[in-house]
Structure 1
Amino acid sequence: MTVAQGQVAVERDNAVMVITIDRPAVRNAIDYDTAQALSAAFDELDASPSLSAAVITGSNGMFSAGMDLKAFAAGGRLPRSERGFAGIVWKPPRTPLIAAVEGFAVGGGFEIVLACDLVVAARDAVFGLPEVQRGQCASGGGLLRLPRRIPYHRAMELILTGERLGAEAAEHLGLVTRLAPPGGALAEARRLAERIAANGPLAVAASKRVVVESQDWSSTEAFDRQEAIVDPVRSSADAREGALAFSEKRAPIWRGE
């Protein structure tokens, strides 16, 4: 089922949501209405226990050129919500999110990618933070997240020069999870999302939460804080079902309980 929300299309396919930025006339640049629609889609994603994974992509062979500067210059509001730029960069969804990148993901488009958990890119895709070339800073998460995703000096070079990074080089640096042939990023991202969704939903959600939140935990508190998150999963009906299904050599039937 696909539902249009202004300039964003939202599709539910079993336990996977696919969110498509659909503004091809402006290379899927983000204006205020698009940011609000994306934010609403992520709210829906997090509020739906039947959804275990999601994919975000762009229409017409282009991920996103970032902020719609023409719309903003014409008096438009900043393209953000309470979740930040594009309805994501300050507060990404709790549900695992995969970026499926075709064409360009530059500026704010790259910052959307950096807010995702996994990245599938076509081999001819291109990433970049060109803000300094325009006298601006990549303040939508680019400065904060890129040095945590790839080696520090390589991140600094990309940030301070504004140069572009090809998908194969990004994969070599560990920024891209999987490469796909041109035109194949969404299909590959769907397959990856389906593999995630086949697992216990409580375990998937808790695992992502620990990985994300533990970045600022001290070593003395890390295991205690992790235990508070994973112990309810360990004692869940899904955990018992997983063990039973393993012993009976069958696929588990998850209930999210």
Structure 2
Amino acid sequence: MTSGTEHLTVERAGATLVLTLNRPEAKNALSLPMLVGLHDGWAQADEDDDIRSVVLTGAGGVFCAGMDLKALAGGDGMAGQHYRDRLKADPDLHWKAMLRHHRPRKPVIAAVEGHCVAGGTEILQGTDIRVAGHGATFGLFEVRRGLFPIGGSTVRLARQVPRTHALEMLLTGRPYTAEEAARIGLIGRVVPDGTALETALEIAELINANGPLAVEAVKASVYETAEMTEADGLKSELERGWPIFATADAKEGSKAFAEKRPPVYRRA
């Protein structure tokens, strides 16, 4: 079980694993300790069957301001150089941490307050459900710095929002309010400032009450069929879905409904 790092806090809230980007003095800019913590947090969620959902949030009223450009410009590199051995052992670690090269099997809910820009918006695209405080700010600022949003945005964003909106965000580098982000479909819900985490945990509890095998199969089906033809997608859905009906959890769900009691799921 991971305990996090100096820039990534790991906590349990019932069956939910809460990962908190914890570098508020730098607006939670990405650092090696943060990336290592995220990588290990996703691994913990995948490996622990008692974890049914994950909430990703940021400390200090900020989600993530992206890469630490000040540190890089100053020639000092990123904080946490003692984690370099982890990167050498797995050169893909940072991409897995940012959900570019890894998709957790449990649902991931983002709880956003304040800045969620550049790398923050890129990580956001790897989450499943997104809640933001009214004052949150989004955007892909890389082109303003002569950089490229290499965290996956030129591929993912146009698959998640209409292409005209994706290209405007990518090419202008301008900030987006939470309301505008919701309007184009980047996030799902806008809530009063300071309540994004509370709302995300409420959503997580609704998910946690459901059959975990069914939840994970539904999530997997949505993603693996996204780029298929309708015919291939429907075939794949049956391959994912039919086995769920034969599980003990499926029988328990029906029995609990008939007996008017909460179901007790055992991942069986």
Q: Give 1:3 shift.
A: 4.1
Could you say what secondary structure the match of 1:50 adopts? coil
Contact in 1 for aligned 2:143/2:171 (Cα 8 Å): yes
Greater strand share, structure number: 1
Q: Deviations over 1:51-91 (max 9, x none)?
A: 11110000000000011223444234799843606442221
The alignment of Structure 1 onto Structure 2 pairs a total of residues equal to 256
* AA of the residue aligned to 1:75: G
Matches of 1:85 and 1:35 in 2, distance apart? 9
Alignment pair present for 1:176 and 2:187: yes
Q: Percent identity?
A: 39
Matches of 1:125 and 1:41 in 2, distance apart? 24
Q: Are residues 255 and 243 of structure 1, via their aligned partners in 2, closer, same or farther at CA, if it must alter by over 3 Å?
A: same
Aligned position for 2:208: 197
Alignment pair present for 1:228 and 2:230: no
Matches of 1:244 and 1:85 in 2, distance apart? 40
Of 118, 133, 141, the match for 2:129: 118
Q: Give 1:14 shift.
A: 1.6
What is the TM-score of this pair, normalised by structure 1?
0.93
Matches of 1:95 and 1:207 in 2, distance apart? 10
Contact in 2 for aligned 1:118/1:176 (Cα 8 Å): yes
Q: Give 1:216 shift.
A: 2.4
Matches of 2:243 and 2:12 in 1, distance apart? 28
CA RMSD of aligned residues (A): 1.9
Matches of 1:82 and 1:127 in 2, distance apart? 25
Could you say what secondary structure the match of 2:206 adopts? helix
Could you say what secondary structure the match of 1:19 adopts? strand
Aligned position for 2:108: 97
Alignment pair present for 1:131 and 2:142: yes
What is the TM-score of this pair, normalised by structure 2?
0.90
Q: Give 1:255 shift.
A: 0.6
Instruction: Decide which moves more: 146-155 or 48-57.
Output: 146-155
Could you say what secondary structure the match of 1:215 adopts? coil
Of 240, 244, 247, the match for 2:258: 247
Q: Gaps (5+ residues) in structure 2? A: none
Q: Deviations over 1:172-195 (max 9, x none)?
A: 222221211111110111101111
Q: Give 1:19 shift.
A: 0.4
Contact in 2 for aligned 1:83/1:92 (Cα 8 Å): no
* AA of the residue aligned to 1:151: P
Contact in 2 for aligned 1:39/1:81 (Cα 8 Å): no
Could you say what secondary structure the match of 1:67 adopts? coil
